[in-house]
Amino acid sequence: MKTIIEPFRIKSVEPIRFTTKEERAKILEEAGYNPFLIKADDVLIDLLTDSGTSAMSSDQWAGIMRGDESYAGARSFYRFEAAVKKITSDKFIIPTHQGRAAEKILFSILGGKGKYFAANTFFDTTRANVEFSGAEAHDLLNEVGKHPEQRAPFKGDMDVPALEAFIKKYGRENIPLIMLTVTNNSGGGQPVSMKNIKDVSAVCKKNNIPLFLDACRFAENAYFIKLREDGYKDKTVLEICQEMFSYADGSTMSAKKDALVNIGGWLSLNNDRLAMLCRNLLIVTEGFPTYGGLAGRDLEAIAQGLEEVVDEHYLEYRIRSTEYLGEKMLSNGIPIIEPPGGHAIYIDAKRFAPHIPAEQFPGQAITCEMYVEGGIRACEIGSVMFGKKDENGKLIPAMMELIRMAIPRRVYTQSHIDYVAEVLIEVYKKRNELRGYAFTYEAPMLRHFTARFKKI
């Protein structure tokens, strides 16, 4: 087979700033050893997130100029609505400025004390929105998804018997909604199978509970279904997306991922009364229902991005380039979540630096060293992000200690990725010298964004 090439050529470039190792050591110290607090100009390759970091196409930039900025009923809204409906078939499409704005609206209305929600795994903002409403969020990931070293095609699947037990325990009247995150970001960017979506949907229908997709990476999920699930090889990605959404009653979406834009989102749903309540809250918090916190030009760029993201040459390149980085890690002995996910490679910090206990945040230690060694910014997804405390203030560690290297869409070339691999190999060689970290400041919620640390 020939090399899978980037299915685009580059029209506009952005320079990146080079720094020395000594400079980076100082920058990191000043940032309290938290890569979130480093200036982007001081980063060489930024793998902090694939969210809002996509390169837009010439057609999307042309759409920016075409955007209709009318307050109500803008042409760009109708183009956006049609593009979202083509994929979701949902009756009501409510634009929001990003994913968490859709979550905030949905869970403010459905949540509250005494309510219980379940997902394969809630993303951190989604969980925070559920908990902020006073409700509880439960992750019901299938067993294989909890084992980074085990290979399986659909490690994002929900545990269906656990879902049935959950409904029995808490009572269907106290469960306003079940959610499937596709792909499962916090669990390694692993896909959910069509069979699992269908099975979860059947349980939800039987119990009269709506099923929503957290659809951020729906196209990547659909492409994995095409590659890995029987019966989907000859379907188009668009058809697979449409089938995925057909089993759900609605979706929340961060267009900053699989709509290939820098800002935007939506809440889609079919229930008339819920849509009315959501739109009313939208007007208070986001804006009028035909722009929802976005400019007309943003809606135009999303509509165009949704056409481009289901292109199979794009998805082949996208999934392959992530896998390429994963293979480089594995062939050098670096432990990652296997198989590679869609949008990111997740390093398994527990196996990378087993001498650093969870209380000293091994993921943070490796992330900091990646920055100093090669100017790469990645993100800890472990006990800094998801650790809890017991009544004595002692850490309850996260299920996994991971570092996410998220790949922005259409931004970096193969040689950038080769460089990332070289830096990681260097850090891995020195793994026994890595030291843990302790908090010097932590906020009560979503602490990873603003925390400061000291070296132990």
Q: Which is nearer to ligand F0G, 51 or 290 (CB)?
A: 51
Return d(Cα 350, Cα 189) in angstroms, integer.
18
Both tokens of 404, joined, read 């996410």
Q: Which is nearer to ligand F0G, 200 or 434 (CB)?
A: 200
Work out whether 304 is an interface residue with ligand F0G (CB under 6 A). Answer: no
Q: Where are the alpha helices (DSSP H) in 51-147?
A: 58-66, 75-88, 99-110, 124-132
Q: Which is nearer to ligand F0G, 369 or 380 (CB)?
A: 380
Rounded to the nearest 5°, which phi and psi values hold at 92?
-115, 125
Interacting positions 43-72 with ligand F0G (CB under 6 A): 49, 51
Work out whether 104 is an interface residue with ligand F0G (CB under 6 A). Answer: no
Q: Which stretch binds ligand F0G (CB under 6 A): 25-33, 118-126, 303-311, 391-399?
A: 118-126
Q: Where are the alpha helices (DSSP H) in 171-262?
A: 194-206, 218-228, 237-246
Task: Pick from 120, 125, 133, 196 the residue near ligand F0G by CB under 6 A.
Answer: 125
Task: Pick from 54, 120, 129, 185 the residue near ligand F0G by CB under 6 A.
Answer: 185
> Tokens 């998220």 identify what position?
406
Q: Mask: binding to ligand F0G, 265-284, rule CB under 6 A, as x and -?
A: x-------------------
Q: Are 130 and 104 in contact (CB under 8 A)?
A: no
Amino acid making up residue 143: E
Q: Which is nearer to ligand F0G, 56 or 356 (CB)?
A: 56
Q: Which is nearer to ligand F0G, 24 or 256 (CB)?
A: 256
Shortest reach from residue 29's CB to ligand F0G, in Å: 25
Q: Where are the alpha helices (DSSP H) in 122-193?
A: 124-132, 160-170
Q: Are 104 and 268 in contact (CB under 8 A)?
A: no
Shortest reach from residue 216's CB to ligand F0G, in Å: 4
Q: Which stretch binds ligand F0G (CB under 6 A): 10-18, 119-127, 156-164, 367-375?
A: 119-127
Work out whether 126 is an interface residue with ligand F0G (CB under 6 A). Answer: yes
Cα-Cα-Cα-Cα dihedral of 167, 168, 171, 174, to 10°? -20
Q: Mask: binding to ligand F0G, 165-184, rule CB under 6 A, as x and -?
A: ----------------x---
- Which residues fall within 8 angstroms of residue 402, CB to CB, at 6 or more apart? 148, 188, 337, 346, 347, 348, 349, 363, 380, 381, 382
- Using only the alpha carbons of the chain, give its radius of gyration: 21
Size of the site for ligand F0G (CB under 6 A): 15
Task: Pick from 57, 98, 321, 322 the residue near ligand F0G by CB under 6 A.
Answer: 98
Shortest reach from residue 258's CB to ligand F0G, in Å: 10
Return d(Cα 288, Cα 301) in angstroms, integer.
19
Q: Which residues of 132-149 are buried (b: 16+ CB within 10 A; e: fewer)?
A: ebebbbbbbbbeebeebe
Measured over the CA atoms of residue 68, residue 69, residue 72 and residue 76, the dihedral's sign is positive
Shortest reach from residue 265's CB to ligand F0G, in Å: 5
Work out whether 123 is an interface residue with ligand F0G (CB under 6 A). Answer: yes
Interacting positions 424-453 with ligand F0G (CB under 6 A): none
Interacting positions 227-256 with ligand F0G (CB under 6 A): 254, 256
Q: What does the binding site for ligand F0G look like in residue numbers (CB under 6 A)?
A: 49, 51, 98-100, 123, 125-126, 181, 185, 214, 216, 254, 256, 265
